[in-house]
């Protein structure tokens, strides 16, 4: 007999007290235990999953490696399967995957999202986006975990030219890997999963939203962190910003200028939430308070203690929306502003003050012919290809009817200092959700904005057990109540803040430790 049903320890709930100590509640949930894991795992080598098992047109899949692996921090084991999902005919490259099947399974699965242009296998064995070292890994909690390379190998963007490879990258690999895991789980444990989740950040955040919107029948809940959900809009903005930094002489800020700007923003805005803690929490007040022109050089000559006219012009471009000549899908008319004047890490944009330090990042996407030596571009020449790409990739529609009606749950997290995915873009997306669903939006979606958080790091490097929060919501019907987020790195690692629902921010109550979430309340302007 290969499995046993038992009542075991389920997903843990992470709580933060006034001290950094972690408290874990361990509710009992049914588990499946595999009694002959070594033999069973080995039997999956060269296993073929027929094309008929996939909803999308796909070739057969094959398991090329099967090994029983011990957890790094426990005595448990899991069966690690690696292999490939073949494309139908010669339509595109394989989807390479890894699936991890724990010996003691909680009858739930988690798909890990990718990052950037993908092209490398997401293993699914470690931390998830927004989790961190103090949050238990899903595999250690008994989840089946899995990931893929999204259907192409390598970090380039040549795959855009192949429709199948690009569709896989944009969303289709989500469905194909989920269908694969459905078969493998049923064959390995003899019973299907009770719950299926998706979690990711950046490109993985876009994938989580795609999972909820396109493949809502396959997922009970998703966590989307700082989702790069509108690639073409962001590419336009990034390259326009790069033009004003390096296409116009003197536009870039040196490292000294960047430090000056950061210090000036903190001086003006840090205490607007009642706490001088190195975090600009009251963003709306900061936008109204900080005066960039006060840093202008009197002689307009470059100097570390002031900013020149070209530098100020570059920053002003980032700090206002870039309006498109032609709307993107779903009526998106602009992108930005970016948080360049809110204390963000502007080295993402300016590098160390030389074009070479950011040239690779700001290289144009394959369908977008932007160049650093041109202030404008004829949008008519790229409109068709950009819109076609955005139609496949973007998640800008507020239509989540299928997900909402089947009881799916969405946790959305965004940082205010993200210079890659601007908080304003995610705000606008959630505003559309609220516009479509009204008060009903809270029944299936919660949006949290973290002040000081950038693209996975920042002045406040947020760490939260969002997977357990999601699982509890799905299982009990109770949304997260007063969640708390922890700063994971830096001199202030361990301090906590309330995780406030948009548009609220953490405001200091006037007494108590600045390192304790209990000293703050969620307030709106």
DSSP secondary structure, 284-351, as one string? HHHHHH--GGGGB-SS---BTTBB-HHHHHHHHHHTS-EE-SS--GGG--EE---STTTT--THHHHT
What is the C-alpha to C-alpha distance for residues 312 and 252, in angstroms, rounded to an integer?
9
How wide is the angle at C-alpha 491 spanned by C-alphas 490 and 494, nearest 5°? 80
Report whether 465 contacts 23 (CB < 8 A): no
pLDDT, residue 464, reads 95
Residue 451 has φ and ψ, to the nearest 5°, of: -60, 140
Residue 521 has φ and ψ, to the nearest 5°, of: -130, 155
Homologous superfamily of domain range 3-229+395-523? Alpha/Beta hydrolase fold, catalytic domain (3.40.50.1820)
pLDDT, residue 518, reads 98
Q: Which structure tokens are listed for 172?
A: 């289709």
Residue 209 has φ and ψ, to the nearest 5°, of: -70, -40
525 residues of the chain, pLDDT tens digit each: 344 433 332 333 333 333 333 333 444 456 899 989 999 999 999 999 999 999 999 999 999 999 999 987 667 899 999 999 999 987 889 999 999 999 999 999 999 999 999 999 999 999 999 998 889 999 999 999 999 999 999 987 889 889 999 999 999 999 999 999 999 999 999 999 999 999 999 999 999 999 999 999 999 999 999 999 998 899 888 878 888 888 889 999 999 999 999 999 999 999 999 999 999 999 999 999 999 999 999 999 999 999 999 999 999 999 999 888 788 999 999 999 999 999 999 998 999 988 878 765 555 444 444 443 344 555 666 778 888 899 999 999 999 999 999 999 999 999 999 999 999 999 999 999 999 999 999 999 999 999 999 999 999 999 999 999 999 999 999 999 999 999 998 889 999 999 999 999 999 999 999 999 999 999 999
CA distances from 212 to 187, 216, 407, 510 (A): 26, 5, 11, 41
pLDDT, residue 379, reads 60
What is the C-alpha to C-alpha distance for residues 65 and 70, in angstroms, rounded to an integer?
16
What is the C-alpha to C-alpha distance for residues 292 and 324, in angstroms, rounded to an integer?
25
pLDDT, residue 11, reads 32
Report whether 238 contacts 213 (CB < 8 A): no
* Segments making up each domain of the chain, as ranges: 3-229+395-523, 233-391
Neighbours of 174 (CB within 10 A): 25
Q: Is 410 helix (H, G, I), strand (E, B) or coil?
A: strand
Which residues are catalytically annotated?
Answer: 202, 418, 455
pLDDT, residue 331, reads 92
pLDDT, residue 16, reads 32
DSSP state of 39: H
pLDDT, residue 361, reads 55
Q: Which structure tokens are listed for 367?
A: 């369908």
């Amino acid at each position: 007999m290969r499995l046993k049903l038992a009542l075991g320890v389920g997903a843990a709930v992470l709580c933060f007290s006034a001290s950094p100590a972690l408290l874990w509640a361990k509710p009992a949930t049914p588990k499946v235990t595999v009694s002959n894991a070594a033999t069973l795992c080995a039997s999956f080598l060269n296993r073929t999953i027929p094309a008929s098992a996939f909803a999308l047109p796909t070739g057969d899949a094959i398991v090329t490696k099967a090994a029983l692996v011990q957890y790094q921090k426990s005595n448990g084991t899991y069966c690690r399967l690696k292999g490939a999902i073949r494309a139908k005919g010669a339509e595109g490259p394989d989807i390479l995957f890894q699936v991890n099947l724990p010996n003691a399974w909680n009858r739930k699965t988690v798909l890990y999202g990718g990052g950037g242009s993908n092209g490398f296998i997401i293993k699914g064995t470690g931390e998830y986006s927004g989790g961190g070292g103090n949050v238990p890994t899903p595999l250690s909690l008994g989840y089946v975990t899995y990931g893929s390379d999204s259907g192409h190998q390598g970090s380039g963007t040549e795959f855009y030219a192949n429709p199948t490879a690009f569709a896989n990258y944009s969303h289709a690999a989500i469905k194909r890997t989920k269908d694969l895991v459905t078969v493998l789980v049923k064959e390995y444990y003899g019973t299907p999963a009770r719950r299926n989740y998706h979690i990711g950040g950046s490109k993985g955040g876009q994938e989580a939203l795609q999972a909820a919107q396109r493949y809502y029948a396959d997922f009970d809940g998703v966590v989307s962190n700082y989702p790069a959900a509108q690639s073409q809009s962001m590419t336009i903005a990034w390259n326009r910003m790069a033009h004003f930094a390096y296409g116009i002489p003197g536009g870039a800020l040196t490292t000294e200028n960047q430090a000056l700007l950061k210090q000036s923003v903190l001086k003006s805005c840090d205490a607007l939430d009642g706490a001088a803690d190195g975090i600009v929490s009251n963003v709306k007040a900061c936008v109204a308070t900080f005066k960039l022109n006060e840093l202008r050089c009197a002689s307009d000559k470059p100097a570390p203690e002031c900013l020149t006219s070209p530098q100020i012009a570059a920053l002003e471009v980032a700090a206002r929306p870039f309006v498109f000549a032609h709307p993107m899908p779903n009526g998106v008319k602009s992108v930005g502003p970016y948080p360049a004047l809110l204390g963000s890490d502007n080295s993402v944009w300016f590098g160390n003050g030389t074009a070479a330090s950011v040239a690779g990042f700001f290289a144009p996407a394959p369908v977008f012919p932007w160049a650093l030596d041109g202030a404008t571009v004829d949008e008519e020449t790229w409109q068709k290809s950009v819109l076609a790409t955005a139609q496949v990739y973007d998640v800008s529609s507020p239509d989540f009817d299928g997900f909402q009606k089947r009881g799916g749950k969405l946790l959305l997290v965004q940082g205010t200092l993200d210079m890659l995915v601007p908080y304003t873009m995610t705000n606008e997306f959630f505003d559309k959700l609220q516009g479509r669903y009204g008060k009903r939006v809270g029944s299936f979606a919660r949006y949290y904005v973290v002040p000081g958080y950038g693209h996975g790091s920042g002045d406040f490097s947020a760490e939260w057990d969002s997977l357990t929060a999601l699982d509890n919501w799905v299982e009990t019907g109770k949304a997260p109540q007063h969640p708390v987020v922890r700063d994971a790195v830096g001199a202030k690692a361990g301090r906590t803040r309330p995780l406030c629902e948009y548009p609220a921010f953490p405001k200091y109550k006037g007494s108590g430790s600045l390192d304790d979430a209990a000293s703050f309340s969620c307030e709106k302007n």
